[in-house]
Amino acid sequence: MTELAIIAAISIFTAGLTVAIGSIGPALGEGRAAAAAIAAIAQQPDAAPTLSRTLFVSLAMIESTAIYCFVVAMIIIFANPFWDAMQAAAGV
Amino acid sequence: MTELAIIAAISIFTAGLTVAIGSIGPALGEGRAAAAAIAAIAQQPDAAPTLSRTLFVSLAMIESTAIYCFVVAMIIIFANPFWDAMQAAAGV
Amino acid sequence: MTELAIIAAISIFTAGLTVAIGSIGPALGEGRAAAAAIAAIAQQPDAAPTLSRTLFVSLAMIESTAIYCFVVAMIIIFANPFWDAMQAAAGV
Amino acid sequence: MTELAIIAAISIFTAGLTVAIGSIGPALGEGRAAAAAIAAIAQQPDAAPTLSRTLFVSLAMIESTAIYCFVVAMIIIFANPFWDAMQAAAGV
Amino acid sequence: MTELAIIAAISIFTAGLTVAIGSIGPALGEGRAAAAAIAAIAQQPDAAPTLSRTLFVSLAMIESTAIYCFVVAMIIIFANPFWDAMQAAAGV
Amino acid sequence: MTELAIIAAISIFTAGLTVAIGSIGPALGEGRAAAAAIAAIAQQPDAAPTLSRTLFVSLAMIESTAIYCFVVAMIIIFANPFWDAMQAAAGV
Amino acid sequence: MTELAIIAAISIFTAGLTVAIGSIGPALGEGRAAAAAIAAIAQQPDAAPTLSRTLFVSLAMIESTAIYCFVVAMIIIFANPFWDAMQAAAGV
Amino acid sequence: MTELAIIAAISIFTAGLTVAIGSIGPALGEGRAAAAAIAAIAQQPDAAPTLSRTLFVSLAMIESTAIYCFVVAMIIIFANPFWDAMQAAAGV
Amino acid sequence: MTELAIIAAISIFTAGLTVAIGSIGPALGEGRAAAAAIAAIAQQPDAAPTLSRTLFVSLAMIESTAIYCFVVAMIIIFANPFWDAMQAAAGV
Amino acid sequence: MTELAIIAAISIFTAGLTVAIGSIGPALGEGRAAAAAIAAIAQQPDAAPTLSRTLFVSLAMIESTAIYCFVVAMIIIFANPFWDAMQAAAGV
Amino acid sequence: MTELAIIAAISIFTAGLTVAIGSIGPALGEGRAAAAAIAAIAQQPDAAPTLSRTLFVSLAMIESTAIYCFVVAMIIIFANPFWDAMQAAAGV
Amino acid sequence: MTELAIIAAISIFTAGLTVAIGSIGPALGEGRAAAAAIAAIAQQPDAAPTLSRTLFVSLAMIESTAIYCFVVAMIIIFANPFWDAMQAAAGV
Amino acid sequence: MTELAIIAAISIFTAGLTVAIGSIGPALGEGRAAAAAIAAIAQQPDAAPTLSRTLFVSLAMIESTAIYCFVVAMIIIFANPFWDAMQAAAGV
Amino acid sequence: MTELAIIAAISIFTAGLTVAIGSIGPALGEGRAAAAAIAAIAQQPDAAPTLSRTLFVSLAMIESTAIYCFVVAMIIIFANPFWDAMQAAAGV
C-alpha cells in the first residue's frame, strides 16, 4: 500500500503547487491590463464601453491560463486516473 | 500507520504553501490595479463611478486566482479525498 | 510516537513559513496602493474622501490574501485535523 | 508494481508543473499586449477595429504556447503512451 | 527524548525565519508609502494633516502583516501547543 | 524492467518541462512585439498593413522557438528512439 | 547530550540568520524613505520640520520590523525556553 | 545494460532542456528587435524597406543561437555518438 | 568532543554569514540616501546643514541594522552562551 | 565500462547545457544592438550604411561568444580527448 | 584530529565567503553615491567642497559595513577562539 | 582508473560551463556598448570615426573577459596539467 | 592525510570563489561611477580635474573591497595558517 | 592517490568557475562605462581626448577585477601550492 501513499502524497502536493504557481502570472497580467484600462478610461471617458469590452475579453483570455491550472488541480484531486488505476490494482 | 503520517505531513505543508505562494501574485496585481484607479480618480474625478466599477470587477477577477488557492488549501485540509481513502484503508 | 513528532514539526514549520511568505505580496501591494493614494491626495486634495474610500476598499481586498495565510496558519497551529486524528489514533 | 507507481507519480507531478509554469509567460505576455491595446484605443478610438483585430490575433498566438502546455499535460494524464506500455507490460 | 529535540529545533528555526522573512515585505512597502507621503507633503504642504492620517492608516495596515509574523513567532516560542503536547506525552 | 521505467519517467518529466519552460520566452517576446505593433498602429494608422505584416513575420519567427520545444516534446513522447531501442532490447 | 548540541547549533545559526535577513528589508526601506525626505527638504525647505517629523515616525515604524528580528535573535540566544527545558531535562 | 539506460535518460533530459532554455534568450531578443522595428516603421514609414531588411538580418542572426540549440538537441536524439558507441560495446 | 566541534563550526560559519548578508541591505540603503543627499545639496546648496543633519540621522538609523548583525556576530564569536555551556558540560 | 558511461553522460549533458546557457547572453545582446540600430536608422536614414556596418561588426563580435559555446559543445560531442583516452584505455 | 580539520575547513570557507559577499553591497552602494556626487559636482561646481565632504563621510559609512566583514574574516583566520580552544583541547 | 574518469568528467563539465557562463556577461556588455555606439552615430554622424574607434577598443576590452574563459576552457580540454599528471601516475 | 586533502580542496575552492564573487560588486560599482564621471565631463568639461579627482578617489574606495577579496584569497593560497598547522600536526 | 584526484578535480572546477563568474561583473561594468563614453563623445566631440583617457583608466580599473580572477585561475592550474605539497607527500 506504500504505492498508494506515494501517489496520494504527490497528488496533494502537485494540486496545491499548481494553483499556487498558476496564480502568479495571471494575477500580474490581469493587474497590468486592468491598470491600463483604468488609466485609459480616465484619459478618454467617452471610449469607456469599448475599453471595458476589450478589457473583459483580455481578462477572460488571461484568466484562461489560471483556469487551466485550476482544472488540472481538480482533475488531480477528484478524477485522478492514476489513483483510480492504482486503487483498482491494489484491490481496494 | 506511517503512510497516514506522510499524507498528513504533505497535506499540512501543501496547504500552507499554497495560500502563501498564492498570495504573492494577486496582492501585487491588485496593488497595481488599485494604484492605477486611485491615480485615475485624482486625474478625472468625474469618472469616479465608472472607474470604481471597473476597479471592482478587475479586483474580483484577480482575487479569483487567490480564491482558487484558498479553496484548494481548504479542500486539502478539510475534504481531502486521499486522506479519507487512506484512513478507510487503514481501518481507522 | 515518531509520527506525531513529524506532524508537529511540519505544522510548526509550515505555520511560520505561511505567514512569512504570505506577508511579502500584500505588504508590497498595499505599499504601492498607499503610495498612489497619497500622491493622488496631494495632487487633488478635493477628491480626498473618494480617494480614501477607494484606498480602504483596495487595502481590505489586498489584506484579504494575507488574512487567508494567517487563517491557514492558525488552523494549522490550533485546529489541525490531521494532528487531532493522529493523536486519536495514538490513543493520547 | 513499483514501476507503475513511479510513472504515475512523475506523470501527476509533471502535468501540474507543466500547466503551472506554462501559465506564467503567456499570462504576462497577454497582459502586456492587452494593456498596450487598451492604451492605444484610448489614444486613437477611431482605429479600434484594427487594434482589436491585431490584439486578438496576437492573443491567440501567445495563448498557443499556453495551449501547448495544456495539451501536453492532458496527454500526460489521459493518453500517456509510457503508462499504457507499462501497464501492458505489467499485465494489468 | 529525541522527538522533543526535533520539535525544539524546528520551533527555534521557524521562529527566527518567520520574523526575518516577514520583515522584508512590510519594510519595503512602508518605505514606499513613507517616501510617497514625504514627497506629497513637500509638494502640497497644506494637505499635510490629511496626508499624515492616510499615511498612518496605511502604515498600520502594512505593519499588520509584519505583526502576524511576530505573533506567530511568539506563539511558536512561548505558547507552542505541539511542544506542550509532546512534553505532556513524554511525561516531563 | 526498471530501466524502461526510468526512461519513461524521464521522458514524461522532460516533455512537460520542455514545453513549460519553452513557453516563457516566446510568450513574453510575442507580448512585447504585439504591444509595440498595437502602439504603432494607434500612432500611425496609415501604416497598418506594413506594421501587421512585419508583426506577423516577427511572431512567426519568435513562435518558431516555441515550436522547436513542442516538436522535441512530441518526439520524446511519441517517437522516442531511446524508448524504442530499450523496448527492443527488453524484448517487449 | 547530542540533543543539547543540536539545539545549540540551530539556535546559533538561527540567531545570526534572523538579524542578517532581517536587516535587508528595513535598510532598503529606510534608505528609500530617507532619500525621499532629503529630496523633499531640498525642494521645499520651509516644510523641513513637518518632513523631518514624518520621516522619523516612518523610520521608527520601519525600524520596528528590524527590531522584531533583533528581539527574537536575543531571545533565542539569551532566553531560549527550549534550551532551558532541554538543559533541565538533561539534568545539567 | 544499466549504462545504456543512463545514457538514454541523460540524452532525453538534455535534449529537452537544451531547446527549452535555448528558447528564452532568442525569443526575448527577437521580441525586442521586432518591437523596435515596428516602432521605427511607424515613426518613419518611408524607411520601411531598409528597416525590414535590417530586422530580418538581425532576426536571422539571433535565431542562429536558437538553431544551435535545436541542432545539438537533434544530434543528441538522432545521431548521438556516445549512444552508438555504447550500443556497439554492449553488442546490441 | 564532537559536539564542541559542531558548535564551533556552526558559530564560525554563522558569524561570517551574518555580517556578510547583513552588509548588503545597509550598504545599498545608505548608498541611496547618500546619493539623494548629494543631489539635494547640489540642487539647494543653502539647505546643506539641514540636509546633512537629516542624512546623518538617517545613516545612523540604517547603520543600526548593520550593527545589530555585527553585535550578534561578535556575541557568537566571543560571548557565545551555548559554547560556554557546552564547554562546562564537557569539563573543559 | 561504467567509467565510459559516466564520461558519455557528462559529455551529453554538458554539450546541451553549454549551447543552451550560451544562447541567452548573445541573443539578448544582439537583440539590444539590433533594436538600437533599427531605431537609429529610422531616426537618421542617411546614415544607414554606416549604421549597418557598425551593427554587423557588433553582431559578429557578440555572436563570437555564442560560437565559442557551439565550438566547445561540438568538441565535446565529436572530438572529446577524454572520451578517446578512456576508450583507448578500455581497449575498445 | 578530524575535528580540527572540520574547524579549519569551515574557517577557511567562511573567511572567503564573508569578504566575497560582503563586497557586493558596499561596492554597489559606493558606486551609487560616487555617481551622484560626480553628477552633482558637474551640475554645481561651486558646491564641490561641500559635496566632496558629504561624499567622503558617506563612503566611510558605507565602507564600514565592508570593514565589518573584513574584520570578521581576519578574526576567523588569525584570532579564531574556537580554533584555539580546539587546539588546546587536542593538546597540540 | 576511476580517478581518471572523475578528472575527465569534471574537466568536460567545467569546460562547457566556463564558456557558457562566460558568454553571458560579455555578450550583454557588448550589446550595450554597441547599442550606445549606434545611437551615437545616428545622433552625431560626423564623429563616426572617433565613435567606431572607441567602440572597437571597448569591445576588445570586454571580449577579453570572454577570451579568458575560452582560453581556460581550451587549457582544461587540451592541455590539462592535472590530467597529464594523473595519466602519468596511472602509467597510461 | 585525508584531512590535509580536505583543507587543500576547501582552500582552492574558496580562493577561487572569493575573487570571483568579489569581482561582481566592485566591477558594477566602478562601471557606474565611471559612467557618471564620463557623462559629467561631457556636460561640464571645465570641471574635468575636480571630476577626475573625485572619480579616482571613489574608484580606489570601491576597488578596496575587491582588494580585500584578493588579499584573503592570497592568504588562503600562500599563507594559510590552518594549512600550516595541519601540516605541522601531520609531521610533514 | 584518491586525494590527488580530489585536489585535481576541485582545482579544475574552481579554475573554470572563477574566470566564468569573474567575467560577468567586469563585462557588464565595462559595457556601461563604454556606453557612457560613446554617448558622451557624440554629445561633446571636442572633449574626446579627455573622455577617452578617463574611459581607458576606468576600463583598466574595472578590468583589474577580472584579471584578479584570471591570475587566481592560472595559479590554481599551473602553480597550485596545495597540489605540489600533495604530490610531494604522495612521493610522486
pLDDT band at I4 (very low <50, low <70, confident <90, very high): confident
Contact list in C for residue E28 (CB cut-off 8 A) is: 27-28, 31
Shortest CA gap F92–chain D (Å): 8
Q: What is the pTM of this model?
A: 0.91
Give the integer Cα–Cα distance in Å for G50 and E22. Answer: 30
Cα nearest neighbour of G24 on chain E: E24
Q: pLDDT tens across K17-59, in order? A: 999 999 999 999 999 999 999 999 999 898 899 999 999 999 9
pLDDT of H3 higher than 70: yes
Shortest CA gap M47–chain K (Å): 7
pLDDT band at G88 (very low <50, low <70, confident <90, very high): confident
pLDDT of A15 higher than 90: yes
Angle at I57 between CA I54 and CA I59, to 5 degrees: 105
Q: DSSP code of N23?
A: T
Contact list in B for residue C65 (CB cut-off 8 A) is: 19, 22-23, 26-27, 30, 63, 66
In percent, how much of chain E has pLDDT > 70?
98
Q: DSSP code of N44?
A: -
Contact assignment for G51 to E73 by CB distance below 8 Å: no
- Torsions phi, psi for I44 (to 5 deg): -135, 70
Q: Which of A18, A32, A41 sits opposite D31 (nearest CB)?
A: A32
Contact assignment for J6 to L4 by CB distance below 8 Å: no
- Torsions phi, psi for J54 (to 5 deg): -60, -40
Most G CBs within 10 A among E24, E38, E86, E87, hence the mutation to make, goes to E38
The predicted structure's pLDDT at residue F1: 53
- Residue from I50, I3, A55, H92 nearest D41 by CA: A55
The CA-atom distances, in angstroms, between F17 and each of A91, D13, D69 are 33, 11, 9
- Residue from B88, D24, G13, C80 nearest E20 by CA: G13
In percent, how much of chain J has pLDDT > 70?
98
| In contact, I41 and K40? CB cutoff 8 Å | yes
pLDDT of N68 higher than 60: yes
Contact list in D for residue A49 (CB cut-off 8 A) is: none
Contact assignment for L69 to N34 by CB distance below 8 Å: no
Contact list in B for residue A57 (CB cut-off 8 A) is: none
The predicted structure's pLDDT at residue M30: 95
Cα nearest neighbour of I41 on chain G: G42
pLDDT of A39 higher than 80: yes
Residue type, N35: A
Q: What's the rounded mean pLDDT across residues G74-82?
A: 92
Q: pLDDT tens across B10-28, in order? A: 999 999 999 999 999 999 9
Contact assignment for H30 to F69 by CB distance below 8 Å: no
Q: What's the rounded mean pLDDT across residues E3-13?
A: 90
pLDDT of D9 higher than 60: yes
pLDDT of M90 higher than 80: no
pLDDT band at M92 (very low <50, low <70, confident <90, very high): low
The predicted structure's pLDDT at residue K90: 75
pLDDT of M19 higher than 80: yes
pLDDT band at B30 (very low <50, low <70, confident <90, very high): very high
The predicted structure's pLDDT at residue J67: 94
Q: pLDDT tens across F56-91, in order? A: 999 999 999 999 999 999 999 999 999 988 888 777
pLDDT band at K1 (very low <50, low <70, confident <90, very high): low
pLDDT band at H86 (very low <50, low <70, confident <90, very high): confident
Contact assignment for F8 to D86 by CB distance below 8 Å: yes
The DSSP code sequence of F29-46 is HHHHHHHHHHHHHHH-GG
The predicted structure's pLDDT at residue B4: 84
pLDDT band at D3 (very low <50, low <70, confident <90, very high): confident
Cα nearest neighbour of A36 on chain D: D35
Helix, strand or coil, per DSSP, at residue I67: helix
In percent, how much of chain B has pLDDT > 90?
74
Helix, strand or coil, per DSSP, at residue C53: helix
Q: What's the rounded mean pLDDT across residues F49-58?
A: 92
Shortest CA gap F11–chain H (Å): 6
- Torsions phi, psi for I64 (to 5 deg): -60, -35
Contact assignment for I54 to G59 by CB distance below 8 Å: no
Chains with ≥3 CB–CB distances under 8 Å to M = K, N
Return all residues near C71 (Cβ < 8 A) that are at least 6 apart.
none
The predicted structure's pLDDT at residue J90: 75
Give the integer Cα–Cα distance in Å for I77 and F38. Answer: 61
- Residue from N88, N85, N68 nearest N26 by CA: N68
pLDDT of H67 higher than 70: yes
Cα nearest neighbour of F15 on chain D: D72
- Torsions phi, psi for D79 (to 5 deg): -140, 45
The predicted structure's pLDDT at residue B1: 53
Give the integer Cα–Cα distance in Å for C40 and E39. Answer: 11
Q: pLDDT tens across H8-36, in order? A: 999 999 999 999 999 999 999 999 999 99
The predicted structure's pLDDT at residue I88: 84
Q: What is the mean pLDDT of chain M?
A: 91
| In contact, E3 and C1? CB cutoff 8 Å | yes
Shortest CA gap M60–chain K (Å): 11
Q: pLDDT tens across D28-45, in order? A: 999 999 999 999 999 989
Q: pLDDT tens across L27-85, in order? A: 999 999 999 999 999 998 888 999 999 999 999 999 999 999 999 999 999 999 999 88
Helix, strand or coil, per DSSP, at residue G55: helix
Q: Which of N2, N13, N35 sits opposite L14 (nearest CB)?
A: N13
Q: Flag whether D touches M (3+ CB pairs, 8 A cutoff).
A: no
Shortest CA gap B64–chain A (Å): 9
Angle at D21 between CA D17 and CA D24, to 5 degrees: 155
Q: pLDDT tens across D12-28, in order? A: 999 999 999 999 999 99
Residue N91 has a CB neighbour count (10 Å cut-off) of: 5
The predicted structure's pLDDT at residue A87: 84
CA J67 distance to own-chain centroid: 3
Contact list in F for residue H83 (CB cut-off 8 A) is: 82
Contact assignment for G54 to E70 by CB distance below 8 Å: no
Return all residues near C66 (Cβ < 8 A) that are at least 6 apart.
B23, B27, C22, C23, C25, C26, C27, E64, E65, E68
Greatest Cα pair distance, chain G, in angstroms, is: 66
Contact list in F for residue D81 (CB cut-off 8 A) is: 77-78
Interchain CB contacts (distance < 8 Å): C and E: 181
Greatest Cα pair distance, chain C, in angstroms, is: 66
pLDDT of N31 higher than 80: yes
- Residue from I90, I12, M27 nearest K81 by CA: I12
Contact list in B for residue C26 (CB cut-off 8 A) is: 23, 27
Q: Which of L29, L59, L81 sits opposite N78 (nearest CB)?
A: L81
The predicted structure's pLDDT at residue I92: 58
Rounded to two decimals, the ipTM of the complex is 0.88
Greatest Cα pair distance, chain D, in angstroms, is: 66
Give the integer Cα–Cα distance in Å for G21 and E69. Answer: 14
Q: What's the rounded mean pLDDT across residues E60-82?
A: 93
Q: Which of G31, G41, G55 sits opposite I62 (nearest CB)?
A: G31
| In contact, E20 and G17? CB cutoff 8 Å | yes
The CA-atom distances, in angstroms, between C81 and each of B57, B77, C85 are 36, 7, 6
Helix, strand or coil, per DSSP, at residue C60: helix
